[in-house]
Amino acid sequence: MRVVTDPVAPVFGDERSIVTIGSYDGVHLGHQVVIDHVRRVAASRGARSVVVTFDRHPASVVRPESAPKLLTDADQRLELL
């Protein structure tokens, strides 16, 4: 697994990618189904599978007063992924 933390760095150049984006807090069974689907589609198309997640929940930026508490921190989430 490759971890990229720079939001403007080129990740895979011109390679095709199948991407899923989410907070993936806790990486529960529903998350696992989505990620597995992305992996299968990418493999069938000769592309890379990419999971984009965040170090904090997006709601903490746009609605901090109602942002959910996280189950996992960024390091734990990466370990689960």
Distance, in Å, from the CA atom of 5 to the CA atom of 73, rounded to the nearest integer, reads: 15
* Residue range 12-19: mean pLDDT, rounded: 85
Instruction: Label residue 81 by pLDDT band (50, 70, 90).
Output: confident
CA–CA gap between residue 33 and residue 49 (Å, rounded): 14
Confidence band, pLDDT 50/70/90 cuts, at residue 5: confident
pLDDT digit string, tens, across residues 18-73 = 999 988 888 899 999 999 999 999 999 999 999 988 888 888 889 999 888 989 88
What are the domain boundaries of the chain? 18-80
